[in-house]
Structure 1
């Protein structure tokens, strides 16, 4: 969960291109997602790697450019069990 000044909270799902390729490949054998011919995820953000530092940097950059409303979904939940990033 991403918490902004003023209390607004957002959610996003982070992937690498390798994650997406792996999911597409596995779905080609299971028959899901038109046998792997398509992939989508709600509130998807693709990064080069999924360490916390690049995730935090991406969130801050997206917020500074005021693009967070396009790159993430709204949530009213407390995000129990999810990582939280504070944007100041």
Structure 2
């Protein structure tokens, strides 16, 4: 996970909580969380990186819209991240 940016991790978390969301759905969820606009020039290149790394699968909904789905590899990455975070959170709580 250390090869991903915080934004890319956020993208994985959003996809883990949705069922094959479109880029626009992901964008909307992130904008709600970040309380700021996420532009296309930031969103789609980062989604492409996650697809390249095989943490995300990309497919067509129709001719204009793609879906993005977290892979088992992406889920495992989030699980490992959560375990790493928990060791510090639990120790300081």
Structure with larger RCO (C-alpha < 8 A, sep 6+): 1
**Higher Cα Rg, which structure:** 1
- Give the TM-score, by structure 2 length: 0.30
